[in-house]
A and B are shown apart, each in its own frame.
Chain A
Amino acid sequence: MEFIRPSEHNAIPTYRVMDQYGQVINKELDVETSDEEALTLYKNMVCLSIMDLLMFEAQRQGRLSFYMMSAGEEGIAIGTASALTPADVIFCQYRETGVFMQRGFTLDQFMNQLFANSKDYGQGRNMPVHYGSSDLNIHTVSSPLATQIPHAAGAAYAVKLQNQQQSDKEPRVVVCFFGEGAASEGDFHAALNIAATREAPAIFICRNNGYAISTPTRDQYRGDGIASRGAGYGMDTLRVDGNDIFAVRRAVKEARKIALEDGGKPVLIEMMAYRVGHHSTSDDSFAYRQKVEVEDWKRRDNPITRMRKWLEGRGVWDEEKERELRSVLRKDVLKAFEKAEKLKKPAIVNAFAGVYEELTDEAKAHIAELKDILERYPNEYDVDQYEGGLDSLTQALEKKQ
C-alpha cells in the first residue's frame, strides 16, 4: 500500500520563453512574435498601466466610486487575448482590463463605462470596471466571485455544438479567467468537472497573483497551486510564467489547439504573477503585506519591464521612445477622461428599462407618470443632462409590443 504524497512530488514546472532579463531561453523556438506585433503588445501593456494609475488617482479624488488595477498582470490579459481569434468568447473576472484593450476596446469606451455616461454599454447600471462588449465577444463582468466559471463551461458546450453544426466557420473556444482565490469557490470545481465530462472546448486561465484581497496563497490552498487540480479533472494542464508575455501567448495558442482536438476538451492554465496593486480602491494592502515586498517585486520582475528588456535587446526600443510613448499615452487617456466626464448621462428611460426584455405595463405606467410630471414642471427638472432629454420616454411609450 502506498499513499500518494503530494509533498514528495516535484512542483509542476513553470513554462517560460524568456528569463527575467528578457533573454530568450530556447533560441530555436524563439518568441514567435514579429517586432511589430511585440511593439503593439508592449504599447497596450504600458497604456493599461498608465490608465490604471490615472484612474486610481481619479477614484481617490472622488471622481468615480471604484477602480481595480491590473499592475503586475498586464501580460496575462494582453498576451492571452493576442493569442486567440476575435470570435473566441471570453469570460473575465474583473482584473482583465487588458483583454478588452487588446481586443480593441477604446480608451473612450473604457472611460464611458467608468463614468457611466450615455455611451456606457451597461447604461450606467454597473460598478466601474464591469466592462462588457458583445462586438468583442466578451461577456460583461459580474461581481459575485467565480460565477463566471460554470457560465464559461456552459458557453463552451454551446460553442462545441455550434462548431459541429457550422463546419464552414472557423471553430471557436471559450476562455475563462479567474484568480487563485476564486478557485476555492465551489463553482470552480463544479465548472471544471462538468466541462471535462461534457468535453467542452474551454480554456480555464487562473491568474495566480499571490493574494485574494488579503489572503495569501498559503491560506488559500495546500496543493501545488491551481495547476495540480487539472489532473484531478482529467484535464490537460500547464503552469506558465505570467510575467513572460511570450510564454503566455505560446501557452494559449497551444491550449487552443488542444481544446479543439477531437471535437473539444477543456484545458487549464495557471499563470503565475504578483499582484502589485491593491486588490481594489477599497483595499489598503499595506495592512497585510510589507511595502518593501511590493517594491521588490516591482523592481525585480514584471511583465512590462521584462518585455522592455527584450525589445531593447532587439534594438527596437530605447529610453527616448519610452518617454515619448508614455507622454503620448498619458495625454490620450486624459483626453478620453475629460471627454467622457462631460458626456450626458444615460437616457432617462434606462431607469425603467432592462429589468425584463420588454417594459412591463407597470413600468410603462411609471414612465407615463414621470413624463407627465417632467412636462408639467419644466423649470423644476433639468432633463437636458440626460441623453435625448424627454425623447427616450416618449419613444418607450410609443413603441408597440
Chain B
Amino acid sequence: MAASRLFRPASRLLSAARPAAAPRTAFRATAAFQNVARRNYASAGNVKEMTVREALNEAMAEEMEQNEKVFVLGEEVAQYNGAYKVTKGLLDRFGDKRVIDSPITESGFAGLTVGAALAGLHPICEFMTFNFAMQAIDQIINSAAKTHYMSGGIQPCNITFRGPNGFAAGVAAQHSQDFSAWYGSIPGLKVVAPYSAEDAKGLMKAAIRDPNPVVVLENELLYGLSFPMSEAAQKDDFVIPFGKAKIERPGKDLTIVTLSRCVGQSLVAAEQLKKKYGVEAEVINLRSIKPLDIEAIVKSVKKTGHMLCVESGFPSFGVGAEIMALTCEYAFDYLEAPPARITGAEVPTPYAQKLEEMSFPQEDMIVDYAAKLLRV
C-alpha cells in the first residue's frame, strides 16, 4: 500500500484534504508543450470534416515542415504512399531524404530509427501494422524505452512509433490483435491511442514533439472515418497533451472508460442505453494509455457510481484489468456496483467472420453489459 502511494501520485491526490494541482511529476508537460493550444470545446467556428487518415497525414506534414529533424521511415511509406495511405504525398513534398522506404526488416529499421533518435533526429517509424512490430519489440522496449534511463539521462530518444493496431477485418490471428497492454506496461514509453481526427492530429503532433519514445496505436478501421475538426484543431500549433482523457459524452448514471475504436462503439451504445433504458452514460475517451488519466475516471465515478471499461485487447492482464484495478484503488468507496470490463475474447482472433465479430466488443454487447451492471 505504501509503495502504491509512492508510485501512484493519484492516491495522494485523493487522500489530500485539498487536492493539489496535477501531481504527475513523471509526466509533467515538457518544454515542448509550452505552446499547447487548449482546445476550446465550445467554439463552433469554422468546423470542417476530416478523416483520421488525413489528420495523421496533416500532423506529420506540419511537424516535418516545422522541424527538419523529423523524418518518416518504414515499409512502403514513400513511393507507395504507405500500405494504408497515411503517408500519402509526403515523398513528393519532402523528398526521399526525409520519407524513406525500408527493406522488409522490422528489427533493422526500428533499430535504425532508434539509432537516429539517439543521434538527435526525431524519426517517425511506421510499422505496416503493430503485428509486425513484434519482430522489432526488442528495439522498442529494450533500446528506445530504456536508453534515456540507462545512460543516466544523457541520451534522449525522441522517436515516434506508429501504425495500425488492434482489430482489422478478415485477416485472422496473426494480423488482428490489440497490443495496447504490451506497450502500456513499459516504463519509459508513452502510449496513445487516438479515436477521432482531432485526437489523431493532436496526439500525433504531441508524439513527434515529445522528447520521449511515444507509441501511437492507430486503428485501420478508423482511418477512413470522417470527424469534425474544430477551428483550433485545423491550426498547425494544435497539440493534445498526454495523460488527459476527453469526455466524449457527459452522463450521470454510468462511466464508460474506453479508447480507440471502442470509443465510437461506446458512443453508439450510450445512445441506445438512453433510448432503451433512459440511462445517461458518460463516455470517457482515454486518448492516452500511458500516462493514464485516472483523475478523470475517479471524477466521473464519483458522479455516476458505476464503471464499465470497454477495450479490445485480450482479457488477461489487459487495459481493462488495469483500469478496474485503478478504479478500485482510488474510487472504491464511490462505486455502487462492482466495476466491469468488456474486452476481446480469450482466443487467437478467428478468421470466420461471425466468430471474429464475437471476439471483439460489439455495440449491443456494451448495451447488455451496461444494463446488467446498472440492473435496469
Contacts and interface: CB of A to CB of B under 8 A. Distances in A.
A142 B351 CA distance: 14
B131 interface: yes
Interface string A124-160: 1111001000000000001111100000000000000
B75 A213 contact: yes
Nearest to B100: A219
Contact of B135 (A127, A187, A288): A187
Contacts of A142: 174
B221 interface: no
Given A143-B172, A185-B104, A287 B80 contact: yes
Interface string B89-127: 000000000000101111110000000000000000000
A255 interface: no
B104 A184 contact: yes
A355 interface: yes
Interface in B16-36: none
A351 interface: yes
A256 B359 CA distance: 45
A107 interface: no
A146 B134 CA distance: 12
A130 B89 CA distance: 34
Given A116-B352, A215-B104, A127 B80 contact: no
B342 to A, nearest CB: 16
B352 A345 contact: yes
Contacts of A130: 172
B174 A143 contact: yes
Contact of B76 (A187, A213, A346, A362): A213
A184 B174 contact: no
A214 B128 CA distance: 13
Contacts, number: 91
Interface in B281-333: none
B88 to A, nearest CB: 11
B174 A215 contact: no
B348 A215 contact: no
Interface string B154-180: 000000000000000011111100000
A126 B135 contact: no
Nearest to B171: A127
B182 to A, nearest CB: 16
B79 interface: yes
A220 interface: yes
Contacts of B80: 213-214, 287-288
Nearest to B104: A181
A212 B135 contact: no
B355 interface: yes
A104 interface: no
A186 B103 contact: no
B132 interface: yes
A65 interface: yes
A220 B103 contact: yes
Given A143-B172, A214-B80, A214-B101, 14 more contacts: A124-B351, A125-B173, A125-B350, A143-B171, A145-B104, A181-B103, A184-B103, A185-B107, A186-B135, A213-B75, A214-B76, A215-B76, A351-B355, A362-B346
- Top 6 A-B pairs, shortest CB-CB distance: A184-B103, A65-B170, A214-B80, A143-B174, A184-B105, A181-B104
27 contacts: A65-B170, A65-B171, A124-B350, A124-B351, A125-B173, A125-B348, A127-B170, A127-B172, A127-B175, A127-B351, A143-B131, A145-B104, A145-B135, A146-B104, A184-B105, A184-B108, A185-B108, A186-B108, A213-B76, A213-B83, A214-B76, A215-B101, A215-B103, A215-B104, A221-B103, A351-B355, A355-B347
